[in-house]
Structure 1
Amino acid sequence: MTDATIQYTLRQGVGHIVLNRPAKRNALSLAMRTALWDAVDRADQDDAVRAVLLSGAGEHFCVGGDIGEMRPGALDAEAGRDRIAPVTKGARRLLETTKPVVVAVDGCAYGAGCSLALAADFVVATERASFCMSFLRLGLVPDACGLFTLPRVVGWLRAKDMLYSTRAIGGAEALEYGMVNELAVPGDLEARAREIALAMASLPRTAFGLVKTALLHSMSADVGAMADAEMAAQAIAYSTAYHEAAVQRLRAGAPPLYAWPAKGGG
């Protein structure tokens, strides 16, 4: 699928979604938002997609919503909720998909762009990346599930700092905060992110989905609920063909089915 502002390709089990509006720093217009969520739905529902990669065209990931389409004072509360509802639904789909989601961030990840990165399972960024929860600058509250993900990713006080100060943090600080898993130089960013997505595409589909779903609920569940979830999930995982093949390979001294790609090809 190719859209003027969203590109979608499927190669080697990786569904690659590209925010493709570089002249506007990939600002999310209303039409672009719709195309983005359509691409997320397509990747989520396609069995041929084993991992999702999200990146931005040009030198920026996403500067957030398109201010040219914002309508101060033109929406009552009901209309405002209707306008933001698709964003929440789409972000939840990205957050809750049982497939691995890898995000590559260069340049700006502001507002909703920052929230999109927070919804990932693995984030690769450059040192020149800039993450900013800029909503209060515009008299708005975080969206795209940012109020759920941010404190869980960076912690309570750091979340307050980012939200209240609206300051931007660079790639190195985002790595320290836990918003970024790994830094890459700009020229290698997309290749490294794709390498990780390809590796994650070979993860055991059932077991990974069970782990990701359990982790999503772990912050709001007590130990008893999580222990029960573990036991139920393990019972399912024990029965999978992947587990059987992995054990057989281990016993035979064969290379494992899954291996993480070392940084720098090492």
Structure 2
Amino acid sequence: MSENSVVLERIGGTAVITLNRPQRRNALDDTIMAAMDRIVRSIRQDRSVTAVVLTGAGGNFCAGADLGDGDAQAERGFYVRDLLQNHHTWFAALCDLEMPVISAVDGFATGAGLSVALAADFVIASDRARFVSSFARVGFVPDLALMYVLPRRVGLVRAKEIVFSAREIRADEAVAIGLAETVVRADDLRDAAIAFARRFENAPTRVLGMAKHIMNRTFETDRQALLQQEAAVQGLCAASQYNAEAVRRFFSKEAPIFPGTERLF
């Protein structure tokens, strides 16, 4: 297994994850699956990480599943089912990271690669980004949770249009329909994503993470259940050292730990 199929870097409190199979447009294979499982787990356990940037090497984000990476001896139906379930493990962990996650999309985010981009809380696109739900082109339904994350991004009818047409969506349209938050020049993409992530370095990471955890389940949680989660989490916040220091500074009229940030987009 290549140790370099995914590269992890630290820049301040930001963890930068780079899918690194540029010769295959960073298509998902067993090496990426194993590396992402390990890396996402390590980030989850590292309390010094305040945000994550996810990107791809070589001018593309991710071309989806590597269709040439199959086991010729396996029974195809069960092979595909098992493969997806194995990818679900790291993908779910990525979605559930309790910190801001930013996808920096250059070039193509295709098929399951589109799912990976939308696992983030925010998507920054380069001016040459292309978003494609390409599954229908090869006779598959969308997978890697695209049928879950896409409607939550763009609405159900727009999601159906994207899936049924299997068309390319360019960066400006992606912003217009809610698939991405902003567009920057390709040469500026990495720096822009890292600068965005570093806005959260003094933020209460665990507080944002718990808010994210609840909001990610808003559409399938009834109001009473959400209020119970809110109350329990607020109790944890009230008992935290961060809250105690933040409140002390507030009443002492000192500069806050996290003064907030300007409008994100």
TM-score, normalization: structure 1? 0.90
Residue 230 of structure 1: CA displacement?
1.7
Q: Which residue of 1 aligns with 2:232?
A: 232
Residue 252 of structure 1: CA displacement?
4.1
| Letter matched to residue 54 of structure 2 | L
Q: Which residue of 1 aligns with 2:8?
A: 8
Q: What pairs up with 1:63-102 in 2 under 5 angstroms?
A: 63-70=63-70, 75-102=75-102
CA contact (8 A) 2:99 2:206 kept: no
Q: Secondary structure at the match of 1:60?
A: coil
CA–CA distance in structure 1, aligned partners of residues 256 and 185 of structure 2: 29
CA–CA distance in structure 1, aligned partners of residues 76 and 21 of structure 2: 29
CA contact (8 A) 2:103 2:118 kept: no
CA contact (8 A) 1:62 1:110 kept: yes
Q: Are residues 1:31 and 2:31 paired?
A: yes
| Letter matched to residue 85 of structure 2 | A
Residue 167 of structure 1: CA displacement?
0.9
Q: Deviations over 1:96-129 (max 9, x none)?
A: 1112211101110011111011110121112321
| Letter matched to residue 260 of structure 1 | T
Q: Which residue of 2 aligns with 1:138?
A: 138
Q: Deviations over 1:138-165 (max 9, x none)?
A: 1122222212111111110011011111
| Letter matched to residue 207 of structure 1 | V
Residue 172 of structure 1: CA displacement?
1.2
Alignment CA distance shift 1:202-1:179 (3 Å): farther
Name whichever of 37-46 and 162-171 sits farther off. 37-46
Q: Secondary structure at the match of 2:68?
A: helix
Name whichever of 250-259 and 26-35 sits farther off. 250-259
Residue 72 of structure 1: CA displacement?
8.9
| Letter matched to residue 50 of structure 2 | R
TM-score, normalization: structure 2? 0.90
Structure 1 ranges of 4+ moved more than 4 A: 70-74, 261-264
Q: Deviations over 1:238-265 (max 9, x none)?
A: 222222222333344444323336789x
Q: Which residue of 1 aligns with 2:261?
A: 260
Residue 60 of structure 1: CA displacement?
0.9
Residue 171 of structure 1: CA displacement?
1.1
Q: Which residue of 1 aligns with 2:185?
A: 185
Q: What pairs up with 1:85-234 in 2 under 5 angstroms?
A: 85-234=85-234
Identity %: 34
Unaligned 5+ segments in structure 1 are none
Alignment CA distance shift 1:180-1:59 (3 Å): same
CA–CA distance in structure 1, aligned partners of residues 244 and 46 of structure 2: 25
Residue 229 of structure 1: CA displacement?
1.8
Q: Over aligned residue pairs, what C-alpha RMSD do you find?
A: 2.3
Residue 212 of structure 1: CA displacement?
0.7
Alignment CA distance shift 1:189-1:252 (3 Å): farther
Q: Secondary structure at the match of 1:115?
A: helix
Q: Secondary structure at the match of 1:68?
A: coil
CA contact (8 A) 2:128 2:171 kept: yes
